[in-house]
Amino acid sequence: MLPQAFDVTDKVVFITGAGRGIGKGIAQVLAEAGADVALNSLTPRYVEGVAAEIAEASGRKVVPVIADVTRTDDVQRAVDLVMETFGQIDVLINNLGDAIYKPLVALPGQETAALTDEELNRVMDVNLTEAILCTRAVGPHMLARRSGKVINISSWTARQGGGDMVVYSIAKTGLAGFTRAQALEWAPYGVHVNSIAPGIFPDPVTVGDDGMQRAKDMAARSVPLTRPGELREVGFLALYLASAASDYMTGQTIFLDGGMSL
Catalytic residues: 168
* Contact assessment for residue 237 and residue 22, using Cβ atoms and an 8 Å cutoff: no
Q: How far apart are CA 22 and CA 15, in angstroms?
A: 10
Q: How far apart are CA 125 and CA 131, in angstroms?
A: 9
Helix (H, G, I), strand (E, B) or coil at 181: helix
List of residues 6+ apart from 151 with CB closer than 8 A: 91, 92, 93, 94, 193, 194, 195, 196, 238, 241, 242
* Contact assessment for residue 59 and residue 84, using Cβ atoms and an 8 Å cutoff: no
Residues 170-179 as b/e (b if ≥16 CB within 10 A, e otherwise) read bbbbbbbebb
DSSP letter at 249 equals -
